[in-house]
Amino acid sequence: MPARWNTDNRPPSLTEFTARFPTDDACAAYLEACRWPDGFACPGCGSCRGWKLQTKRWTWECHDCGRQTSVTAGTVMHGSKVPLRTWFLAAHLLATHSNGMSALQLQAKLNLGSYKTAWLLLHKLRRAMVAPDRTPLSGDVEVDETTIPYRTKDEPIAGGQGRSQIGKIAVIGAVELLEGNRPGRIRLEVVPDYKGPTLKGFVERNVRRGSHIWTDDNKSYYGLQGYGHTPRVIGKMAAHVLMPWIHRVFANMKRWGLGVFHGFRDKYLNAYLNEFVFRWNRRQSYRSAFERLVGIGIAMAPATYADIRATAV
């Protein structure tokens, strides 16, 4: 067993998970308890008076306004024809598998009828990997940029070599530095360029003011307002010597993309980066990763196939 799972961090086995959620009704009961821990509350008028309908599965009707609300309404699972148990199994596999999985793998494991169904399931769950209220990084924070290989059907898996721009896209990343020179949480984001407004905007969105930013000597970071800033001249020295943790994040992320997806596609790269961030930030809490994913999914606005395509890079 991997060392990281020799503690209470070990996620439930698939046998344990299926025993906990053997039916769609068991999954619905879990969603109901998560969504309304203090009892039903109408999302329309806020009334706490209502009753569960016997003629519609997992649906409540408000006593005051008459609105009917199912446990999946307004969540990441809104309007889905996929059984709840399949949703739960997909969330469990995605959240607790060390490397995640591709849509082709998920289709095979869950015996889904089409690749598109598996792809849409995964992308909806990836949307639920970004908590709307997540707190920004803080303290000492390493920030740097890299290029990630991506591919189309006609391009090499690892992108062009050397200075070639074939199959490459710019990405910026940040990692908290904890006591004992340990890495904390991270953020990753696709950027259109390395200009000052772009890079400083990333810092302002993702790092709490008053934190101290460590970068290379890229002049685009100069003039950050509200942050301490230490630029370091890399020169001929390898960048990972002075900025080890952000470069380890970049290296792990690139290996993950090649190993699981056989190369990223540029169109949905931010979605894959969000998945990597979710998994990295919960590497010490695999056991609760499923609960966190479902919890965010309940609070997320629903998205259609068209919505997901429209938000692509």
Lowest mean pLDDT of 36-40, 131-135, 263-267, name the range.
263-267
User: Could you read off the pLDDT of 139-191 as tens digits, one per residue?
Assistant: 999 999 999 876 555 555 554 554 344 568 899 999 999 998 899 999 999 99
pLDDT given for residue 247 in this prediction: 93
Quote the pLDDT of residue 261: 83
pLDDT tens, residue by residue, 51-69: 999 999 999 999 999 999 9
| CA 241/CA 180 separation, integer angstroms | 17
Nearest partner of 249 among 258, 240, 260, 241, judged by Cα: 240
Task: Identify the pLDDT of residue 163.
Answer: 39
User: Between 5 and 111, where is the model more confident?
Assistant: 111
DSSP lists the bridge partners of residue 183 as: 177
The pLDDT of residue 228 is: 96
CA angle 290, 294, 300 (to 5 degrees): 145
pTM of this prediction? 0.86
Quick one: pLDDT at residue 311? Answer: 72
| Sheet of 59-62, strand order | 50-52, 59-62, 68-70
The answer to whether 140 touches 214, Cβ cutoff 8 Å, is: yes
CATH superfamily of the 140-281 domain: Ribonuclease H-like superfamily/Ribonuclease H (3.30.420.10)
Length of the chain: 313
What's the pLDDT at 162? Answer: 45
Quote the pLDDT of residue 232.
85
Q: Which residues contact 189 (CB under 8 A, 6 or more apart)?
A: 171, 172, 173, 202, 206, 270, 273
Domain with CATH 3.30.420.10 in the chain: 140-281
Mean per-residue pLDDT, 74-79: 93
C-alpha torsion 273→124→102→153, nearest 10 = -80
* Model confidence at 305: pLDDT above 50: yes
Q: What percent of the chain has pLDDT over 70?
A: 88
Q: What is the pLDDT of residues 16-49, one digit of tens each?
A: 999 999 999 999 999 999 999 999 999 999 999 9
